[in-house]
Amino acid sequence: MKNIRLLSSKMFFLLFCLLVSMSAMADSLTSPNGLLKLDFSVSEKGEPVYELFYKNKVVIKPSKLGLELKDDSGLMTGFTQTDAKTATFDETWTPVWGEVKQIRNRYNELAVTLEQAAQNRFIIVRFRLFNEGLGFRYEFPAQKNLNYFVIREEHTQFAMAGDHTAFWIPGDYDTQEYDYTESKLSEIRGLMKGAVTSNSSQTEFSPTGVQTALMMKTADGLYINLHEAALVDYSCMNLNLDDKNLIFESWLTPDAQGNKGYMQTPCRSPWRTVMVSDDARDILASKLTLNLNEPCKIKDTSWIKPVKYVGVWWEMITGKSTWAYTDDFLSVKLGETDYSKAKPNGRHGANNANVKRYIDFAGKYGFDQVLVEGWNVGWEDWFGHSKDYVFDFVTPYPDFNVQMLQSYAKSKGVRLMMHHETSASARNYERHMDKAYQFMVDNGYNAVKSGYVGNIIPRGEHHYGQWMNNHYLYAVKKAIGYKIMVNAHEAVRPTGLCRTYPNMIGNESARGTEYEAFGGSKPFHTTILPFTRLIGGPMDYTPGIFDTKLSFLGDTKHSFVHTTLAKQLALYVTLYSPLQMAADLPENYERHLDAFQFIRDVAVDWDDSKYLEAEPGYYITVARKAKNSSSWFVGGITGDNVRTAVFKLDFLDPDKQYVATLYADGKDADYVTNPTSYQIKKGLVTAKSKLSVREARSGGFALSLIEATPTDRKGLKKWK
């Protein structure tokens, strides 16, 4: 009897140990190439925990997952793992436009079901491990005890394994228009005050909070990028850093009441992403963000076309002309002013004669569209005295004849591009949206640049909160019915939704060229953007400024553009976008028609892209093959360091010769002292050619590679 009892006790003990070990056991997942490994477990307190490794190096130390809810015990502790399903996925899909003709979507998946027995509810954490990184999200299935809930805060952690070098901008609920700071993670708190400039909307944010996409480099050479994908019906994520323990934690954008999200099951969060490689070029080439978004939801995409455009814009940004028709602000009131009786200020940019000048230029040099800002009434009131002013989007100023200008543009093979400044009054825009979009269709417009300058109306909402994120997507979806492409400025930064809705052809959502007229950007700014802002989607950066000293203004009140002319050419390749503007004034291009030729030639849609050299903050060299063409274009840029780009042309067809036209910094070029010094060189190259190109401070080069004709082969020498 004693032996039986002893045996029973041992069996009970073994069973208990087995159950404990099962509850503490980590589920593991590896990437298709075996270089990345994910471990998932549930702690003794019932906290979900994950870790990430790359080539056996720690990328993310044990990090907790969960959400804090309002008036609820929350979804952070008390979990037990009840299920774990694995799957593999491998497909190749074709984007409507993009950096490459086809994209491979290949990953291994782990879906973990977690139960809170005390509350009788459950959630799923879904992990997808790609060769270049990790994506994971929270899923909330429909269930009786988790129906409608309010998020007080999301507490997703990213525990760093060291004091990495980071390229960051301050956390903010309303703008990303900052210059980047390079520092150690431990230095962010001390540098934050200097990084928060007058364009900040910070009111209650952490002194160690930063925005995504966040780019980092470890001491032993790993490149790590933190971001999110598929931001739908949710608040934008910032990252708050515990700088003592080097742990980032999600920090969502609040609404007017301070709540972070309103959810009703079934629902899910956006994907949280961690990209990692020991080669910076892999970060730039990754399509992880796009692959975590749903496939295209537009059946007929034939009307969605990449666009190269010019516009009545830079002259207003620099102060040469105005958006407003009159300076008589006090007499202008919404709905009360007869503009035909108002005194013109003589500097209104969107007038018939000036717009026709831009149309002539676009038609002559092969541009698709002409953007015109300041065409519709009301700019005086908005700039003048009424904080609650709203536009109607259909009423032109007296000196802007919509029908005549559209007809004139059509005769030149050009279209006008619409501009909708919403004055940050989202509800007003939604009320007018159908009428505004129909007005576009009736008058030949098929693309709109929308703006959200100012504090959001209703008061208290933020540009990056759930409420506004839903609005931005509503505008894009509504535009589909009218076959309109959307380029939203001041909207939330992209998270790959352009895969699902490819009529979302561009966004601003970062510090663009306009800041070169307001005070400038650091020389390394455009070497960082591809690693940060462009991870989520293309940017309407508006490059191509040739008169970098803004000499036409004749004063010293404005800044200068912190690049060389050659670097401005290179940006058309290094900053990918299917929407590219030649932003300078027509007369500045006509003074440099030899350099302007590259802007005319360069494509805006691509079959292939090769990242030849890359180091965040220092340099990028990219080669791209034009869509349905044998032509390649290469762009190289540098920060505030002089360097020599060295690269092979082994991406070319080995059986062909190409005419190489190089637009490079001149020998004496410098972005401060001699920015317009450039040189142009031509010669024959092949796939065996190797090029070395000197880049000045904040300089660069652009290279076109066009298949050689028999005449070219007779008349041109081989490249030396």
Q: Alpha helices, DSSP H only, in 420-461?
A: 426-442
Euclidean distance between CA atoms 70 and 74, whole angstroms: 8
Query: Does residue 553 surpass a pLDDT of 80?
Result: no
H helix or E strand, kind and range, residue 527: helix 525-528
CA distance readout (Å), 156 to 47, 83, 237: 11, 21, 10
| Confidence at 46, pLDDT banded by 50, 70, 90 | very high
Q: What is the pLDDT of residue 385?
A: 42
Q: At 535, is the secondary structure helix, strand, or coil?
A: helix
Query: Does residue 193 surpass a pLDDT of 90?
Result: no
Q: Tell me the pairing of strands 27-30 and 36-42.
A: antiparallel
- Active-site residue list: 514
Q: What is the pLDDT of residue 519?
A: 85
| Confidence at 328, pLDDT banded by 50, 70, 90 | confident
Task: Please state the rounded mean pLDDT for residues 11-18.
Answer: 45
Query: Does residue 180 surpass a pLDDT of 80?
Result: yes
| Confidence at 559, pLDDT banded by 50, 70, 90 | confident
Task: Please state the rounded mean pLDDT for residues 325-347.
Answer: 73
Contact 75, 123 (CB under 8 A): yes
| Confidence at 295, pLDDT banded by 50, 70, 90 | very high
CA angle 357, 363, 367 (to 5 degrees): 110
Q: Which of 387, 437, 458, 445 is nearest to 418 (CA)?
A: 445
Contact 427, 457 (CB under 8 A): yes
Q: What is the pLDDT of residue 18?
A: 43
Transcribe 373-401 into DSSP letters.
Answer: -S-BTTHHHHHHT-TT----SS-B-TT--
Which span out of 86-90, 376-380, 388-392 was modeled with the highest average pLDDT?
86-90
Contact 463, 456 (CB under 8 A): yes
Contact 561, 520 (CB under 8 A): yes
Q: Which of 689, 667, 690, 692 is nearest to 678 (CA)?
A: 667
| Confidence at 17, pLDDT banded by 50, 70, 90 | very low
Residues of the chain with pLDDT > 90, as a percent, come to 86
CA distance readout (Å), 168 to 141, 451, 657: 35, 25, 43
Q: Pick the range with the lowest mean pLDDT from 222-231, 280-289, 341-350.
A: 341-350
The neighbour count for residue 76, using CB atoms within 10 Å, is 20
Q: What is the pLDDT of residue 720?
A: 82
Q: Which of 467, 380, 379 is nearest to 430 (CA)?
A: 467
Q: Pick the range with the lowest mean pLDDT from 8-12, 191-195, 600-604, 672-676.
A: 8-12
Q: What is the pLDDT of residue 552?
A: 79
- Averaged confidence pLDDT in the chain: 93
Task: Please state the rounded mean pLDDT for residues 109-124.
Answer: 97
Query: Does residue 9 surpass a pLDDT of 80?
Result: no
Q: Which residues contact 263 (CB under 8 A, 6 or more apart)?
A: 140, 148, 149, 150, 151
Q: Is 630 exposed, middle or buried (0-12, 13-18, 19+ CB in 10 A)?
A: middle
426-442 and 466-480 are packed helices; what angle lies between their axes, rounded to 10 degrees? 10
Q: Pick the range with the lowest mean pLDDT from 23-27, 342-346, 456-460.
A: 23-27
Query: Does residue 508 surpass a pLDDT of 90?
Result: yes
Q: What is the reported pTM? A: 0.94
Name the β-bridge partners of 504. 486
Q: What is the pLDDT of residue 558?
A: 67
Query: Does residue 332 surpass a pLDDT of 60?
Result: no
Task: Please state the rounded mean pLDDT for residues 654-665.
Answer: 98
Delineate the domains of the chain, giving CATH numbers in brackets: 15-291 (2.70.98.10), 305-509 (3.20.20.70)
Q: Which of 673, 651, 676 is nearest to 664 (CA)?
A: 676
| Confidence at 556, pLDDT banded by 50, 70, 90 | low
Query: Does residue 557 surpass a pLDDT of 80?
Result: no
Q: Is 496 exposed, middle or buried (0-12, 13-18, 19+ CB in 10 A)?
A: buried
Residues of the chain with pLDDT > 70, as a percent, come to 92
Q: What is the pLDDT of residue 575?
A: 98
In the chain, what's the furthest Cα-to-Cα distance? 111
Euclidean distance between CA atoms 98 and 537, whole angstroms: 10
Q: Which of 89, 96, 91 is nearest to 500 (CA)?
A: 96
Query: Does residue 48 surpass a pLDDT of 90?
Result: yes
Euclidean distance between CA atoms 514 and 506, whole angstroms: 16
Q: Pick the range with the lowest mean pLDDT from 2-16, 257-271, 324-338, 560-574.
A: 2-16
Task: Please state the rounded mean pLDDT for residues 170-175.
Answer: 95
The neighbour count for residue 72, using CB atoms within 10 Å, is 14
